[in-house]
Amino acid sequence: MDFSFIISGMAGDGIKSTSMVAGKMFSRLGYYVFIDNEYQSLIRGGHNFSIVRVSDKKIWGHRRRSELLIALQDYTISPHNEYVDRVIFDSSGFDYLEGEGIPMTAFAKEVGAPTGFRNAAAIGALCYIYGMDIGNLNKIYKDAFGNKAEKDILLAEKGYKYASENLKQMEKVQRAGNPKPILDGNQASGLGAVKAGLKDYYAYPMTPASSLLHFLASMKRKLGVTVVQPENEISVAIMAIGSAFIGRRAMIGTSGGGFALMHEAISLAGMAEMPILCLESQRGAPSTGLPTYNAQEDLKFVLHAGHGEFPRIVASPGDTEDAYYLGGELLNLSWKYQSPAILLTDRYLSENLATCDIDVDKVIEEPLPLYSGDNSDYRRYSMTESGVSPLAFPPDAMVNATGNEHDEYGFTIDTEKESTEMYAKRMRKEEGIKEDVKKMDAVRVFGNGTNVLFTWGSTTGVAVEAASEIGDIKVVQIRYLSPFPDWEIEKLEIDKAVTVECNYTGQLRSLLKEHGRINSKLIGNWGGRQFSIEQLAEKLKEAFE
């Protein structure tokens, strides 16, 4: 079983929440669900839609073709007409002859609800169309809204009853297994970091990272995390450094424009050896660009974040589960090596929802290299063979941290010999980071063959599904980007190499050439949308001919 349907309307129609409820109807029956939420940068109006895909097997992305469109606005029908088989619309909101109408707005008025509640009638009809029990849908509304769910339930039942009397059912959906949780990539990253000991989260709202701020703020008491929205992105990064100074694990979140403002603070963290984890969720750029659409344009920007040379740890998750694991891995690595770490994701993974099978206990809070000597003689930057100095925190010890070049105690220096030694001490940490990453999944490999498709970030899932339709393609996701896993690339047997990424210049392709001496053909996408599985499969056939 594998099918998709679309829910469309304008900003303010509750398209995202409606698709979430629809997705839960299937995930609670044990199905895999993927929801691609596409929306414009508008408060009201425009054309927003969600593609909800359901399968009895693991799925990674959206398909171009859908069997059903539920339209809450008439003008949102024509953009999808070519790729849908059946249209259901609000017959009391507008007239549309080519489709099946449900008087959703009229139902909302009958129960004394605002027009915005009419989407519950649409979901009730959807429940009937796929042969599901309305009681399960009502429970979803109760779980989500509690005592405020009364009108949603009334409207869902009206939609269900109307559909049962007027609409044709499609394939009936039976229980496929145990309920599966649905998360977006930002939520998964945050939960992974919390499992690794996150205590403070700082962010200034910037799409598509904002949903992590909203999620952690709504869950702060349950998760034991302090959540703060400072006045700007510069303050965000500086406050995270302050948390690290007193021994509290901190994370920050932003997109490319906000990350640009953080560069001086990232460099300060490099010099002061302060561990901070930054989630950088990419969107269409440069400048304001396409604020609500997808891109993978910041790879080289992030790899060189902050002026000067210092260890930077950069990794990019390929799916929701991977986002959880990397959220924990990077926070632990950042603290072990007292260096900035960047979790580089993108709009498609950050905001789209997917069912997931997460091994929660795979992430733990790893112990810190703590100082055990006389606190009166604590040297924050003591020279060690590994470059990692034991940690102590105020008020237990006098800690002197600085952005100037410094001696072991943290006092400013400018002598050549001491400066050279301290510089080398910081850089020695890169070897330890590399050795640790070698023990992790620096890359993930899917499939077999000597035709190799390289990916990173959210293109991974779409690439895996597209490649499986063609066969004889090995998909290699580069998970860690700094340190770059050249030791894994060297193991690959390659006849033809292709790189797929959502940018124009082929930034991963360039890194592969730099580190692995691999010349690959580029499949690029820079229009703000992720490839559909069908679209990428067509391009792969051409590329591997």
What total of structural domains would you count in the chain?
4
The predicted model scores a pTM of: 0.96
Amino acid at 543: A
Q: Which region, left, alpha or beta, applies to residue 417 given φ > 0 means left and ψ of -120 to 50 means alpha?
A: alpha
pLDDT tens sequence across 168-202: 999 889 999 999 999 999 999 999 999 999 999 99
pLDDT confidence band for 516 (50 / 70 / 90): confident
CA dihedral 481, 484, 487, 492 (to 10 degrees): 50
Does residue 171 lie in a domain region? no
Indicate whether 474 and 509 sit together in one domain. yes
Query: Which domain covers residue 121, as residue numbers?
Result: 2-166
Choosing from 142, 166, 190, the residue where a domain stops is: 166
**Residue 121, SS3?**
helix
Give the CATH number for residue 476: 3.40.50.920
pLDDT tens sequence across 295-327: 999 999 999 999 999 999 999 999 999 999 999
- Kindly write down the DSSP assignment for every residue of 393-444, as one continuous string: -TTTS-----SS-B-TTS-B---HHHHHHHHHHHHHHHHHHHHHHHTS-SEE
Does residue 39 lie in a domain region? yes
Indicate whether 217 and 356 sit together in one domain. yes
Does residue 461 lie in a domain region? yes
Does residue 369 lie in a domain region? no
Choosing from 100, 135, 166, the residue where a domain stops is: 166
* Whole-number percent of the chain with pLDDT over 70: 99
Indicate whether 414 and 451 sit together in one domain. no
pLDDT tens sequence across 97-115: 678 999 999 999 999 999 9
CA atoms within a 13 Å half-sphere pointing along the CA-CB vector of 83: 15
pLDDT of residue 171: 82
pLDDT tens sequence across 400-431: 999 999 999 999 999 999 999 999 999 999 99
Indicate whether 351 and 222 sit together in one domain. yes
Choosing from 396, 417, 438, the residue where a domain stops is: 438
Give, for 107, the enclosing helix (H) or strand (E): helix 104-110
* The two three-digit tokens of residue 165, written as one number: 């009397």
Rounded to the nearest 5°, which phi and psi values hold at 128? -70, -45
Indicate whether 114 and 65 sit together in one domain. yes
Does residue 177 lie in a domain region? no
The C-alpha atoms of residue 411 and residue 403 are separated, in whole angstroms, by 10
The C-alpha atoms of residue 303 and residue 4 are separated, in whole angstroms, by 37
Does residue 174 lie in a domain region? no
The C-alpha atoms of residue 456 and residue 458 are separated, in whole angstroms, by 7
pLDDT of residue 35: 98
Give the CATH number for residue 265: 3.40.50.970
